[in-house]
A and B are shown apart, each in its own frame.
Chain A
Amino acid sequence: MTPARLSLAQPVPDEATPYHTEPATVRLRGQHLRLGYGDRVICPQLDVRIPDGSFTVIVGPNGCGKSTLLRSLCRLITPQAGQVYLDGKQIRDYPARTVAQQLGLLPQSATAPDGISVLDLVSRGRYPHQSLLRQWSPQDEIAVQTAMQATGVADLAGRAVDELSGGQRQRVWVAMALAQETPLLLLDEPTTYLDIAHQIELLELFRHLNRHNGRTLIAVLHDLNHACRYATHLIAMREGRIVAEGAPGKVVTADMVQQVFGLPCLVMADPVSHTPMVIPRGKVHMA
């Protein structure tokens, strides 16, 4: 159950699919998933493995099924076929609360109840760790304070969430997800609404959580350069399928970006982080 460090040692025997990095342990994976809503199939056939201890980033065009995949991984939607496994057991067989202690989610869109204060909202992240008679504990207090400090919203504690700016609000939601203190954390576009400084600050925070607290992170990001810089594992999706997967340094090429986004571009080394950097050419020049 402990999140093991990423190891490149032995391949996992039961899967035939080739991966660029084959981790020793995979707590969370989806097998032969068919995902959709009602009659509409979004992802016809999908196998996905989240390497333990990785900072996995999912990229892809709007509407390609990133959120859908994320939601199926934390069983917000039931796959039409296939299964999601957590620690080798089908995730739907766990009690809701047990899953919530292992898997946190920052949804792409969430609504704050009218007039709720920042402190109250962040405190709600502790719900899976509480019970009817023990609705609060010193650990809860620490987790909430730590999460608010880390996301820079401690000063906003007494403010009403609906009176905050979009970026402040986003950081409050991130704080709530962090306060949940789950070993696995799913983040759907955590950096939207944030200015460039806060984007980087938040991504650095995620990297820190990933490296030093051993948390496995799965994030959807739209900025490819951020993805390349911070991801240890990149998943590129297009039309409900995984097109490329692996370390960003290996998979991000001009061809890949062209294939996934239909965008002609140049890929060169980021002078700061030495990870790939994607520079769009723009379609005008290619006509």
Chain B
Amino acid sequence: MSPSDYLYLGRPTGPIYLRVRAKGLWVGMLLALAALMLAGLALGAGALELSHAQVWQALLGEGPARLGAVVREWRLPRVVMALVVGGALGMSGAIFQSLIRNPLGSPDVIGFNTGAYTGALVTIILLQGSYFEIATGALVGGLAAALLVYLLAYRRGIQGFRLIIVGIAISAMLAAFNTWLMISASLESAMTAALWGAGSLNGITWDKALPSALFSLVAMVLTLLLGRRMALLEMGDDSASALGVPAERTRLQLMSLGVVLTAAATAAAGPISFIALAAPQIAQRLSRSHGTALLCAFWVGALLLLLADYCAQHLFAPRQLPVGIVTVSIGGLYLVWLLFRQSRLASS
């Protein structure tokens, strides 16, 4: 790596002057391109096969009204939400892995997903809630669990390891409670709950997607603004503070944004595992540069979830799988590979 590996944007004396690692930027752009191409493919695929030209026409509002409805009202929200939810999960994974300084860090560490499941179960089983009520229940449950873990782990500041331990303990307790809820539920409720728990983008519409997408986008912009501080925090609190980054406050802000991103994703699609875990790692391996980490994690997450959802829809067509099952399966393989590699590294 040499200075020529940097790209300079703006003018040295102008109001805007940025320096970024060229490789990170290129990787980010290639990932974005790949995701958009896959999105185009996904819009054309299904029981009603459409050509690229037809998809394009439908997106522009031309061509037959029936095709327009299929593309714009059915397929587009699903593809957009796959990108947004995947990207949100990728970014929130990047946040947690950076804060905890561990490749196994993810929003799960602070108990969010288990808490969200508890919230959803309570709404489904005890209150027989609707789609929006289930989403709200999941949000409340997830946020409550995350807050509880944070408060229990707080002792003159937050420390990664303590967070993990407390997170595991709370998650285990909640998981036991979830099992008990499932056992005591009626068969029908239990089916609904299990379906929600698998994580799925089936039947998503603009109405259901919009609130979650808006929340995600706002949180993403805020996260990107905090990106440089996040990178500095990785050097330890002392170094970061000495450079003018208020460590504890920044950590709390980042953690809140990570939780909001996960919450928005979970509200839209239920708990989807693996993306938050793998996306930042893959992004890091591809770009090998700091500073574009968040952006690359976003695009890897978006690409992964879109790909997984594509497989979930078309692999066993006409039968549709919940996308969460696809990500769990790939995630299992990924975890095995990660552990294998780490143990090999440790023994070499």
Contacts and interface: CB of A to CB of B under 8 A. Distances in A.
A97 interface: yes
A39 to B, nearest CB: 11
B16 to A, nearest CB: 5
Contact of B236 (A111, A116, A132, A137): A111
Contacts of B291: 120
B214 to A, nearest CB: 23
Interface string A25-62: 00000000000011000000000000000000000000
A243 B225 CA distance: 47
Contact of A100 (B12, B17, B235, B244): B244
B62 interface: no
Given A104-B242, A107-B242, A119-B3, A136 B235 contact: no
Nearest to B289: A120
Given A38-B156, A135-B18, A112 B235 contact: yes
Contacts of A134: 15-17
Interface stretch (A123-131, A190-198, A210-218): A123-131
Interface in B204-238: 225, 228, 231-232, 234-238
Nearest to A74: B242
Interface in A71-110: 71, 74-76, 95-101, 103-105, 107, 109-110
Contacts of B12: 137-138
Nearest to A117: B1
Contacts of A107: 236, 238-239, 242
B4 to A, nearest CB: 11
A242 to B, nearest CB: 23
Most chain A CB within 10 A, of B239, B242, B288, B291, is at B242
A101 B244 contact: yes
A201 B101 CA distance: 34
B290 A120 contact: yes
Contacts of B228: 127, 135
Contacts of A71: 238
A113 B242 contact: no
A110 B239 contact: yes
A157 interface: yes
A117 B5 CA distance: 12
B202 interface: no
B319 interface: no
Interface in B239-258: 239, 241-246
Contacts of B246: 96
Contacts of A103: 242
A262 interface: no
Contact of B243 (A113, A128, A132, A135): A128
A280 B46 CA distance: 84
B312 to A, nearest CB: 33
A125 B243 contact: yes
Interface in A125-151: 125, 127-128, 132-138
B97 to A, nearest CB: 10
Contacts of B232: 124, 127
- Residue of B8, B12, B244 ringed by the most chain A CB atoms within 10 A: B244
B235 A111 contact: yes
A43 B219 CA distance: 43
A169 B10 CA distance: 33
A105 B234 CA distance: 16
A110 B1 contact: no
Contacts of B235: 110-113, 124
A104 B10 CA distance: 29
B204 to A, nearest CB: 35
B237 A76 contact: yes
B222 to A, nearest CB: 12
A100 B243 contact: yes
A158 interface: yes
B17 A137 contact: yes
Interface in B1-54: 1-3, 8, 10, 12, 15-19, 21
A124 B290 CA distance: 11
A136 B1 contact: no
A175 B47 CA distance: 62
Q: Which of A37, A116, A125 has the most CB of B within 10 A?
A: A116
Nearest to B246: A96
A97 B244 contact: yes
Interface in B285-300: 288, 290-291
Contact of B17 (A125, A135, A158): A135
A132 to B, nearest CB: 7
Interface string B171-190: 00000000000000000000
25 contacts: A74-B241, A76-B237, A76-B242, A95-B244, A96-B245, A98-B244, A101-B244, A104-B242, A107-B238, A110-B236, A110-B239, A111-B235, A113-B231, A113-B290, A115-B284, A120-B291, A124-B231, A127-B232, A128-B244, A133-B16, A134-B16, A135-B18, A135-B19, A138-B12, A177-B242
Which 3 residue pairs across A and B have the least CB separation, nearest first? Answer: A100-B244, A105-B242, A136-B19
Given A105-B242, A117-B1, 12 more contacts: A76-B237, A76-B238, A97-B244, A105-B238, A107-B238, A113-B235, A113-B290, A124-B243, A125-B243, A127-B228, A135-B228, A157-B2
